[in-house]
Amino acid sequence: MRKFLVVVALLASLSIFAILNPNYVSPVVEVVKQCAPAVVKIDVVRIESVPYFDPFADEFFKRFFGDVPWGYGKREVRGVGSGFIFDKEGYILTNEHVVKDAKQITVTMLDGTTYKAEYIGGDDELDIAVIKINPKGKNLPVLEFGDSDKVQIGEWAIAIGNPLGFQHTVTLGVVSALHRKILKPDGKGYYTDLIQTDAAINPGNSGGPLLNIHGQVIGINTAIVDPREAVNLGFAIPINTAKRFIDSLIRTGKAEKAYLGVRITDVTQDLKKALALKVDRGALVTEVVKGSPADIAGIKEGDVIVKINNQDITSAGVLVSVIHSYTPGSTVKVVVDRRGKRLELTVTLGKYEESEGGAKSFLGIKVGEITAGDRETFSIPTYIKGVIVREVEKSLFGIKVGDVILKIVINGKEYKLESIDDWNKAIGDLHKGDYVALYIYRKGAKLYVAFPYTGE
């Protein structure tokens, strides 16, 4: 009898702890089944310049003097990231920092199939890139783009990628915030209008998709907060930003970005007091280019730009990043503070022009003609003449992209620079053993950089 009662009690307890929702299947499972095959692992090999120094000494020089221009060698560096197929022809979207300067790009599918990929185009500032594989007649899986403008805080967010090389890892969270802006790790500009999520994102997730519960791409996973400082703070570029530039990346290899037509500076407390400004933050307009989109819309010198569409403008750098996230012809609402009065102006943005090549490379730097867009981006006054540094392959006494080289002095002989031809002529007169000085304009300051020329 006692055994019978024990059995009855056991059966009763099992009925109490019966499986709940036995037929329930999480919608995330279906999203992963449908979307994971279109997410790829990206392995890259790139060649980087490295100094022939003891690593401890190298860190000392970097900290106090910047990289030195001599004693450089090459080494092979491998990296891993993520991406996703968005077109059956084999086009893949990822981050520029994942594939930039890659000597070799290998794409691995969920089923283990590998392809050699071609770099099609990308943009450092936007941190988006397109690569391509040859499907060779295979019917490739693709992901559908969503509408990131309709994303709401609190909705589900699903990340698929390759964190630390662990292929096709799935993490789940929510959209934590919208319109975030963060400084880029290299300090060169800002990521703006980011989607923040608590879905776990780690190194290797970069370039992978952030999906909504319908399996649509709403963002490109791009950045995280240092895990030593915080956790579950990941950021994705809105897919609508990427969509604006895909066509130009495929067609020209470059992102065709917008141009406003102003020179700007940060609002500081000293400027606020001196000019009796009514705002604490923003981009102060110091010059409006005649005939530019800003001029046509009615923006004036002395205005403080405080908002573009739904994005707050807290500094000159943020304004530049926001403007460059739009394509030429885009119409935006610009809110300015004009002596305490808020005005909303409608601006149709122009095209950011870059000068074409033609300049000889010199110790790892490449220069170009200064365009109106450069003057806006780097706040270069119209009276400044010279050539602008476009690329820096290795650091030459701290020379940076955006510096304007006003003149070159070789053994006491001055070469004033107002064009690429002037630059090429001066560089052509250099000989090993010459003493060289570059006279540079940077953010309102002028400085000399001098060194003996040891040859390329």
Q: Is 127 a catalytic residue?
A: yes
With tokens 């559908």, the residue in question is 144
Task: Give the pLDDT of residue 111.
Answer: 93
Distance of CA 111 to the CA centre of its chain: 30
User: Each residue's pLDDT tens digit in the chain (456 positions)?
Assistant: 555 555 555 555 555 556 787 888 889 999 999 999 999 999 999 877 655 444 444 554 444 444 444 445 567 888 999 999 999 999 999 999 999 989 999 999 999 999 999 999 999 999 999 999 999 889 999 999 999 999 999 999 999 999 888 889 999 999 999 999 888 877 777 898 999 999 998 888 999 999 999 999 999 999 887 767 767 789 999 999 999 999 999 999 999 999 999 999 999 999 999 999 999 999 999 999 999 999 999 999 999 999 999 899 999 999 999 999 999 999 999 999 999 999 999 999 999 877 655 677 777 788 889 988 888 888 888 889 999 998 887 666 778 889 999 999 999 899 999 888 888 888 888 888 888 999 999 988 898 988 888 776
> Smallest Cα–Cα separation from 36: which of 167, 195, 139?
167
| Listed residue (168, 38, 43) closest to 91, CA to CA | 38
What per-residue confidence (pLDDT) applies to 372?
Answer: 85
Going along the chain from its start, the domains and CATH numbers come out as 33-132 (2.40.10.10), 144-252 (2.40.10.10), 258-351 (2.30.42.10), 365-452 (2.30.42.10)
Q: Give the per-residue pLDDT at 64.
A: 46
- To the query of whether residue 43 is one of the catalytic residues in this protein, the response is no
For the record, the structure tokens of 364 come out as: 């790892």
DSSP state at residue 18 = P
Please indicate whether residue 325 is annotated as part of the active site: no
Catalytic residue among 127, 303, 337, 374: 127
pLDDT at residue 230, rounded to an integer:
67
Choice among 82, 148, 176, 206 that is catalytic = 206
Which of these is catalytic: 43, 67, 82, 97? 97
Rounded CA-CA distance 148/194 in Å is 10
The pTM is what?
0.80
Asked if 219 contacts 148 with a C-beta cutoff of 8 angstroms, the reply is: yes
What's the pLDDT score for residue 323? Answer: 95
